[in-house]
Structure 1
Amino acid sequence: MTATTTRVRPERKAVVQGSGRMKKPPGLPWILPALVLSVGLIYYGIGYTGYISTLNWDGLSPGAEHVGAHNYTRIFHDPVFWDAVRHTLVFFVVTFVIQTILGLAFAVILHAKLRLAAIYKVIVFVPVVLAPAIMAPVFRHMFAPDGELNAVLRHVGLGGLAQPWIGQTSTALPVIMFITIWEWTGVTFVLYYAAMTQVDPSVLEAARMDGAGNMRTLVSIIWPDLRGTTVALAMLGAIGALKTFDVPYLVTIGGPNYATEFLGTYIYRMTIPLSHVGYGAALSIILLVVALIMALALQFAGRERKGR
C-alpha cells in the first residue's frame, strides 16, 4: 500500500526533474538557419550597402572619401534617374494591365471544356521557363532593321511601317514591354486559373439559374472573388518592375539614349562600368525604400478593399 502511494508516474517525474531548467522554444532549431541567413547575410548586406552609399569610392582603391548624404542629394538632381523612374512606372502600368487582361482571358477560356486544354496550358506557360539570356538574341534579331518583323511587314505590303524597333527612342520601350508581357503572362494565367477553381460552383449555378450570362457572371461573381489574386499580382508586378534588369540590358543595354534605362540597369551602369560604387549603393538604397513603400501601399489597399 505504501509503495503504491509513493509511486510517481513517468510523465510527472520528467516534469519535476525539468522544472528547474529553462525551456527552449520548440521551433528554434527549425527557424535558426533562416534567421542566420536573413540577419547575417541579407540585413548585413543592406547595412553595408547603406554605409557604402555615404562614400565616394570606386570599389577598388584602399582609400574612400566620406561624403555623407551627398550621393543622395545628387540622385534627386540626376535627370537619368528620373527617366528611369518614369520608365519603371510606365512599364509597370502597361505590363500589369495587359498581363491581367490576357491572363484572366486565358484562365476563363481554359476553364471551359476545350479539347487539348492541357497542351494550351503548356503553350501559355512555356515562356515563363525560358531564360531571358536565351531569348534575348532571338528578339534582338527579330526587331532589327533587317529582322523578321520588318520582313513580314514588307511581305504583306506594309513596308512603310518597317523601322529600327530597338534602335530608336520611340519604340525601344514598347518592345521591352512586349517581351516582358510575352514572358510573364503565363504566371498571371496560372494564378488566375488556380483562383478560379476556388469559386463556389453553387454560386455560379445560382447565377445561371437567375439568367446571368457568361460576361455578367464573370464581372459580378468571378472577378470580385479574384481580388486577392489581383492584389498579389500587382505587388509582384510592382516589385518586378523595380528590379527589371535582364531584358532591357540584354536586348537594348538601356539604350538608345537611355530610352530603356531602368533603376536596375542604371545601378549596374554606375557601379560596374563607371565605377561609381558609392553612388550605385545610394541608388540601391533608394530602390529598396521605394519597393517597400509600394509593397506596403498595395497590401494596405488590398486589405482596405477587402474590409469594405
Structure 2
Amino acid sequence: MRRILLCLSIFLLFPQVSHAQLYRVKKGDSLYKIAKKFHTTVAKLKRINGLRSSLLRPGQRLIVPGRRYKPVNSRKTIAFLEQKAAEVKEDVKEAGEDIYPITNVVYEEGEKLADVLSTPLNVPYDNWNLSILENPEYKSALLEILARVFKNLKNTPYVFGGANPKRGLDCSSFTMYVYRKLGINLPRTARAQFNVGVPVSKNELKVGDLVFFRTYASFPSHVGIYIGNGKFVHFSSMYHGLSISSLSSPYFRRRFIGAKRVLSEKLVKKILYAQKNN
C-alpha cells in the first residue's frame, strides 16, 4: 500500500516529473544535498514524499526525480531466449521419433481445449507439475512465445510505478503484461501476485513460474519469470530494463522468498494451440 501511495503521489502531486526512482538516504544526507544531486528543489522533494519536516534518517527511502534510460540489457535478453529455444529444438531433432510431435498433440486436443481456460484462481485441480515441459518440443515452443512477447519490450525503459509498455514498466507490471498476453490476468503488484497461483519449491521450478524476492521492503517487492537453468527474466532497474539474472547470485539468493505457478498443463497446451492458429 505504501508503494502504491508513493507512486500515485508522483503523478498527482508532481506531474512535471515523468519518471522517478527510489533513493536510500545515507548518513550525512540532507534534503538540500539530495535536491542538488537530482537537480530539483527541497520543496518539491518534501511535497512528493509528503514530508512535514526536513529531518531524514539513514535508510529512509525517498522518491526522487528520475530520467529515462535506454535499456541496455533488453536485446541481449531476447537474443539469449531465442538461442535457448533453438538449443532445445536441437534436443528434439536428436531425440527423433522418441518425441511425439507437438503439432499432433496440440491439434488433436485443440477442440477440447477451445473453451477451457484453467488457472489456479478458478480450477480446484489440474496438472500443475507441468511435466509437459520436460518434453523439449513443448519447452522450446513456450520459450519462443515468451521471446516474442519480450520483443515488444526491447525499447521499454524501467520506470518505478510504470504500467505502460510504451512509456515504462516496473517488475510487476512487466509480469502482468506478459501473462496477460498468455491469457492470465495477474494483480498489479508483486505483493498481490505472491498471493495467487500454486506454491512451487525452488528445486521444482519450470519455465514460466513466477519467482519472488524481498528487496526494498519486508514483503514481496520484486518478481520475475523463470526460464530454466536457475535463471529468470525481470525488469531489474532503470539502467538495465529487461534482464536475465541467476537465482544463485548472492543478491537474489539472499532475497528469494518463494515461487508461484500460474501455468497449468492445460493452459500451456491452449497457449501453444492459439499461437499456431494466429
Question: Which of these two proteins has the greater Rg computed from alpha carbons?
Answer: 1
Q: Which has the higher strand share?
A: 2
Q: What's the TM-score bracket when you normalise by the shorter of the two chains?
A: under 0.3
Q: Which has the higher helix share?
A: 1
TM-score normalised to structure 2 length:
0.27
